[in-house]
Amino acid sequence: MKHLLLKIEPLIWLLFGQGILLGTILLTGWILVVNLGVPLGLISDDGLAFQRAHELGSSLVGRLVLAALCALPLWKGAHHMRHVSIDSGGAGRDAVVAPLLYGVAALGSLLAIAAVIRL
Amino acid sequence: MAETLVKKFVVTRFDPDKDEAPRTESYEVPCHPDWKVLDALNHIKDEIDGSLAHRWSCRMSVCGSCGMNVNGQPTLTCKKAVSDLPDTVEVTPLANFPVVRDLVVELDGFMEKLKSVKPWIIRAKEKAVEEGPMRQSQAELEEFKQFSMCINCMLCYAACPVVANEPEFLGPAAIALGHRYSVDSRDEGAAERNEIFRGEGTVFACSYANECSEVCPKHVDPAAAVNQAKFNAVIDWAAGLVLPRGGKE
Ligand code: FES
């Protein structure tokens, strides 16, 4: 397991890095607009009307962005949590913790891809 | 004459031939106000207890041999002024290293890691002297200059939470010094080092706590080197997947 984890480390780090990028830039904006701006009445929700949002989201670029937006932060979270586990003295249990966390991220990514295909 | 500051130094002592575990000994040291911690340790050794073992050489933050944990903080003892410290000063050996005796730590593990990243210029074919010098622009120099300032004091290893948990991790200084050559325009060994960076002591073990850069007495910013090394190792790995012959010429 240790050897396999070492082999896929560059890929994980790539997903993790992109997750940070999207998580901090796009998701923050998303949360500010959808979870704060609109409910507080600071931003008009015209742009979020179903028809318009669906058109935008179901275009090819929209689907790719949505899938990335759902999947990549999962890898970021999984990788962070793995390192929190290691840094808090859990190097010995990494062979169990890492596959578990990455498994959840992989499953979530598959679900996200399936969801955007069905949009 | 300026007044002396009397400080209590609580120093870790350990003699593997006699002691089962490290113990501490306290010394009242009359410190001159402009003394560094190293001066106080030298005073203890010269005037109070000659059996104390500690390592030092240059006394000017150049040789990197006087690193110890001072009040829990990895510190160059020849740089840290006693006047900046509280009345009780605890001096322990650098954390995350095996102890040889008292405040002296074992360097072999670090030396092995350093050697493994090939911290020298690698060239497929040496340039003959007659062909003249290898010219380098200011911009090319800036790519690596900062990382070449490392004095191998190993404070970054004592501060790194990953080294503490994963002893095989190459660690900040070794990665910074390997990376220093990989980004040198005269070097052709980046691919070799990238493979080492992805290997057993992988650079990806770094969780970017940034502690190494916090404690670095030479402002090398090893954390930046580690993260640039990660990026280069990923690009090189991805190139290996899509380009024929792994992107190698
Ligand atoms: S004695 Fe040389 S760096 Fe401190």
Three-class SS of chain A: CHHHHHHHHHHHHHHHHHHHHHHHHHHHHHHHHHHHHCCCCCCCCHHHCHHHHHHHHHCHHHHHHHHHHHHHHHHHHHHHHHHHHHHHHHHHHHHHHHHHHHHHHHHHHHHHHHHHHHC
Which residues on B lie below 8 Å from A11 (Cβ)?
237
Judge: A86–B237 Cβ closer than 8 Å, yes or no.
no
Question: What confidence tens digit (pLDDT) does each residue in B33-52 have?
Answer: 999 999 999 999 999 999 99
Distance from CA of A24 to the nearest CA of B (A): 16
d(CA B15, CA B22): 8
pLDDT category of residue A25 using cuts at 50, 70 and 90: confident
Q: Which ligand 1 atom lies nearest to the CA of residue B78?
A: 4
Pocket of ligand 1 (CB under 6 A): B 56-59, 61-66, 76, 78
pLDDT recorded at residue B108 = 96
- The domains of chain B, with CATH numbers, are 5-105 (3.10.20.30), 108-242 (1.10.1060.10)
Judge: A13–B234 Cβ closer than 8 Å, yes or no.
yes
d(CA B66, CA B77): 6
Q: Does B148 touch chain A (CB under 8 A)?
A: no
Q: Does A6 touch chain B (CB under 8 A)?
A: yes
pLDDT > 70? residue B246: no
pLDDT recorded at residue B248 = 54
Question: What confidence tens digit (pLDDT) does each residue in B168-188 have?
Answer: 999 999 999 999 999 999 999
**Strand order from edge to edge, sheet including B73-76:** B23-31, B5-13, B88-92, B67-70, B73-76
pLDDT recorded at residue A92 = 85
CA of B215 to the centre of ligand 1 (A): 15
* Residue among B198, B207, B233 whose CB faces A83 most closely: B207
Q: Does B6 touch chain A (CB under 8 A)?
A: no
| ipTM of the prediction greater than 0.95, yes or no | no
| Residue in this structure with the two tokens 């830039």, named with its chain if needed | A25
Judge: B199–A13 Cβ closer than 8 Å, yes or no.
no
pLDDT > 90? residue A110: yes
pLDDT recorded at residue B1 = 55
Distance from CA of A86 to the nearest CA of B (A): 7
Q: Which of A86, A93, A101 to mutate to test the interface with B (most CBs of B within 10 A)?
A: A86
Question: What confidence tens digit (pLDDT) does each residue in B191-211 have?
Answer: 999 999 999 999 999 988 899
- The domains of chain A, with CATH numbers, are 2-117 (1.20.1300.10)
